[in-house]
């Protein structure tokens, strides 16, 4: 049956960024709704972002499209052109290959909940983190400095 029992989908958390970039992103939880029904082409996550935390470091993808839709609370979308407040019913999206680094930050006093949708192209996608000395390249495990030196795992 295609209907997803959201509460039966396991709750995930964590962050695999190297230190010191992980700390601000620790605390979010998500349910992998797309995985729960075997979607292959795109992922869908139901994310809960606590106050004071970020969804990720500011980044952009070479091969993966992304979209977020806010359901509860308030987040600040941080992009190259500045900060934008997103509230329930607001949506933002990023086309693969467009170098507009972005992340969500919860600067409010309450949890924010949003849907996160994205392409699944790990074999060809690279990810750039414009504010920090970090990149992720297809076919390589872990994160690297811009000069190619790997971060310790």
What's the pTM value of the predicted model, to 2 decimals? 0.95
State residue 1's pLDDT score.
61
pLDDT reading at 48 higher than 80 = yes
pLDDT in tens, 3-41: 999 999 999 999 999 999 999 999 999 999 999 999 999
- CA-CA distance, 99 to 71, in Å (whole number)? 26
What is the overall mean pLDDT for the chain? Answer: 96
State how far the alpha carbon of 31 is from the alpha carbons of 50, 94, 110, 125, 131, in Å.
15, 21, 19, 23, 28
State residue 2's pLDDT score.
83
Q: What is the CATH number of domain 19-136?
A: 2.60.120.10
- The ranges assigned to domains in the chain are 19-136
- CA-CA distance, 49 to 73, in Å (whole number)? 9
């Amino acid at each position: 049956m295609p209907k997803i029992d959201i509460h039966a989908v396991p709750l995930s958390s964590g962050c695999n960024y190297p230190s010191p970039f992980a700390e601000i992103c620790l605390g979010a939880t998500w349910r992998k709704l797309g995985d729960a029904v075997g979607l292959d082409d795109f992922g869908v996550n139901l994310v809960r972002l606590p106050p004071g935390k970020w969804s990720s470091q500011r980044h952009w993808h070479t091969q993966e499209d992304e979209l977020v839709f806010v359901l509860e609370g308030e987040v600040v979308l941080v992009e190259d052109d500045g900060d934008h407040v997103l509230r329930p019913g607001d949506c933002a999206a990023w086309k693969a290959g467009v170098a507009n680094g972005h992340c969500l930050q919860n600067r409010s006093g309450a949890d924010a909940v949003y849907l996160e949708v994205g392409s699944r192209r790990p074999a060809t996608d690279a990810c750039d983190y414009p504010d920090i000395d970090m990149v992720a390249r297809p076919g390589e495990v872990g994160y690297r400095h811009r000069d190619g030196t790997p971060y310790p795992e």
